Amino acid sequence: MPKEQSNTSMEKFPKKNIFKTPENYFENLPDQILEKRKPKALHYYLSGMAAAAVVVIGFFLFNGSETVTSSISYQVELNEEVEYYIESGVWNVEDVLLLAENPNELLDDITEEEWSNQTWVTEGLLENEIFY
């Protein structure tokens, strides 16, 4: 019977809602949350941008000059080695053209260089003497 007594004692209390929320609380809640979050989001964004800037600047300061210098010295060494192989007869023209990425462009450059060194006598030539 103690259960019945506890039920009857609970029934004595009024059944009304004792909790009250301010007016428009739930309508304004998302805006309030976003306003509190904006400074944190801006802080994280600015921190990330600053960190990225430090990394990029550091990369170029420490590696930028070495990369340019090392690539230039590598190209100079490579050119000297290729010239050595050509002069010693180990490689011939066909070998060099096979190694080129764009052999047509290389041939055009060589042809242009060779033809620019020629001196032409244009006076006294007839049209039928010029070979096409």
- pLDDT by residue for the chain (132 residues), tens digit each? 455 555 567 777 777 777 788 888 888 888 888 887 777 767 777 788 888 888 888 877 777 555 556 777 888 888 888 888 888 888 887 887 788 888 888 888 888 887 887 666 555 555 555 555
d(CA 35, CA 83): 69
Contact between residue 55 and residue 69 where contact means Cβ atoms under 8 Å apart: no
Measured distance CA(130)–CA(124) in Å, rounded: 11
pTM tops 0.75: no
Amino acid at residue number 41: A
User: What does the pLDDT read at residue 105?
Assistant: 87
